[in-house]
Structure 1
Amino acid sequence: MDKVEEHILNEAEKLFMKFGMRSVTMDDIAKHLGISKKTIYVNFKDKNEMVMHMITNMLHKDECNMVECQCNAKDAIDEIFLMMDFLKQMLAGINPIVFYDLEKYHNEAYKLMMSFHETHIYNCVKANLERGISENIFRKDINTEILAQARVKQINWTFEAELIRSGKYSLYEVIQELTTHFLYGICTLSGHILINNYTNKNKQTI
């Protein structure tokens, strides 16, 4: 991707994340950038292709951040807290309508995101569960395959939930609530102590 294409995509992403895909036209993007619409079409066939590139880039960044969280975490619970910190920053400026627009008007990109969840996130969750078991902070009797599948379905549900699309709750608020519930269900007593320690540490840094 050359610099012009990258610049167009980055600025279009800002508009999409703020207003949703449907309401932002190619004219809006051209006006925002101060360039002709023709210049945009030289780099992107249409808005659908632009959205596809945007989602592909976002998923690549997500994958890199998951690896970084795995490497930097002191333990499996710390890894989850680091991931939640990343999610909080990433989702802060996203209008909930984005996910509705993505599913309804750019379904190929939406399916790519769901596929990413079912492969990369599944593998990440399963590896985290196995790590936690080996560290004696997750229960040894849990079935990592079942719980990893359930966790992915849980995450996918949040992107489609009316609670979020209505604007009543943010995506982060719902994922945080579900994550806390998930964690307490799989942890040993030592794990529960770590959850409380990391939670208190986060509160002190706010």
Structure 2
Amino acid sequence: MKEKVLEKATELFLTLGFKSVTMDDLAHEMGISKKTIYAHFENKTKLVEESTSHLFCRISTGIDTICALQKNPIEELLDIKKFVMQHLKDEKSSPQYQLQKYYPKIYASIRSKQYEMMQHCVVNNIKKGIAMGIYRENLNIDFVSRIYFSGVISIKDIKLFPPDLFPTNKLQDDFLEYHLRGIITPEGRKILNNLINSNQE
């Protein structure tokens, strides 16, 4: 039952927001009593903490699986973006904003884990791209990986990028293309253009 509560809570938090969803909402949605939820989670903060951790682990495992496929680095980043977007439900409720505002300690902990995971993934991606001749060989890898992480976090700031002006999917696509066009070689550009064109068909 704990796993089912976690799954449903994560889904509701992503769809409606961490602040918006109450324990009553969750109990009603699942057709169970609040007492059943509290048997597994002592309070809402604990539920938020475990659901964010649960989601982070699921996404990390999926990213590791994509990286293990050894695709070319450009395709790898496009696949990771697509996978993450599917699991974050397009973030219609700006869950990161609510998490940061109402659960700052949980947000800080998750952000730290995100940074470690992404740093490892992006550094490997850049090294592979340089070795294959599709990323520029003179790149400062540490700089590029940190700027990329910084951008991923920044585009989720709804004050900087209001959703009515910057729809989430389009914003993610634009940011990734912006990142890639800054680091690819002419050979990489051919691959990127082909992938973008094939995705639009």
In structure 2, what residue type is equivalent to 1:105?
Answer: Y
Aligned-residue CA RMSD in angstroms? Answer: 1.7
Tell me how far 1:166 sits from its aligned partner.
Answer: 4.8
Aligned length: 201
Distance, in Å, in 1 between the alignment partners of 2:171 and 2:110 is 18
Q: Counterpart in 1 of 2:5? A: 8
AA matched with 2:187: S
The C-alpha deviation readout for 1:182-201, integer Å capped at 9, x for no partner, is 10110000000000111122
Question: Following TM superposition, by how much is the alpha carbon of 1:23 offset from its aligned partner in structure 2, in angstroms?
Answer: 1.8
Match of 1:127 among 107, 121, 124: 124
**Alignment-derived partner of residue 159 in structure 2:** 162
Q: Is the 8 A contact 1:73 1:82 kept in 2?
A: no
**Cα distance change of structure 1 residues 72 and 110 upon mapping to structure 2, 3 Å threshold:** same
Partner residue of 1:57 out of 31, 54, 71: 54
Offset from partner CA, 1:34-82 (integer Å, 9 cap, x none) = 1111111110011111111111111111211211221224211111111
One-letter identity of the residue aligned with 2:11: K
Q: Is the 8 A contact 1:97 1:165 kept in 2?
A: no
Q: Which runs of 5+ in 2 are unaligned?
A: none
Distance 2:107 2:168 in 1: 16
Alignment of 1:104 onto 2:101: yes
| SS in structure 2 of the partner of residue 21 of structure 1 | coil
Give yes or no for contact 1:26–1:47 (8 Å, CA) kept in 2. Answer: yes
For residue 117 of structure 1, report the CA deviation from its aligned partner.
Answer: 2.5
Structure 1 unaligned spans of 5+: none
Q: Classify the secondary structure of the residue corresponding to 1:141.
A: coil
- Give the stretch that moved more between structures: 144-153 or 30-39: 30-39
CA contact (8 A) 1:138 1:191 kept: yes
- Give the fraction of aligned pairs with identical amino acids, expressed as a percent: 27
Distance 1:93 1:179, change over 3 A: closer
- Shift in Å, 1:90: 2.2
Could you say if the C-alpha distance between residues 86 and 162 of structure 1 is closer, same or farther in structure 2, counting changes exceeding 3 Å? same
Which residue is equivalent to 1:39? 36
Q: TM-score, normalised by structure 1?
A: 0.90
Moved more, 138-147 or 68-77: 68-77
CA 178–93 in structure 1, closer or farther in 2 if over 3 Å, else same = closer
- Where does structure 1 differ by over 3 angstroms across 4 or more consecutive aligned residues? 163-168
Q: Is the 8 A contact 2:94 2:158 kept in 1?
A: no
Distance apart, 1:164 and its partner CA: 4.4
Contact 1:163 1:169 in 2 (8 A): no
Is 1:137 paired with 2:134?
A: yes
Aligned counterpart for 2:181 among listed residues 176, 180, 184: 184
Q: Is it true that 1:148 corresponds to 2:136 in the alignment?
A: no
Q: Which position in structure 2 is the counterpart of 1:86?
A: 83
2:71 to 69, 74, 81: 74
Q: Which segment drifts farther, 157-166 or 186-195? A: 157-166
The structural deviation recorded for 1:93 is 4.6
**Which deviates more from structure 2 when the two are superposed, residues 161-170 or residues 143-152?**
161-170
Aligned match of 2:18 in 21, 24, 28? 21
Change (3 A) 1:164 1:46: farther
Change in Cα spacing, 1:103 to 1:109, as seen in structure 2 (3 Å) is same
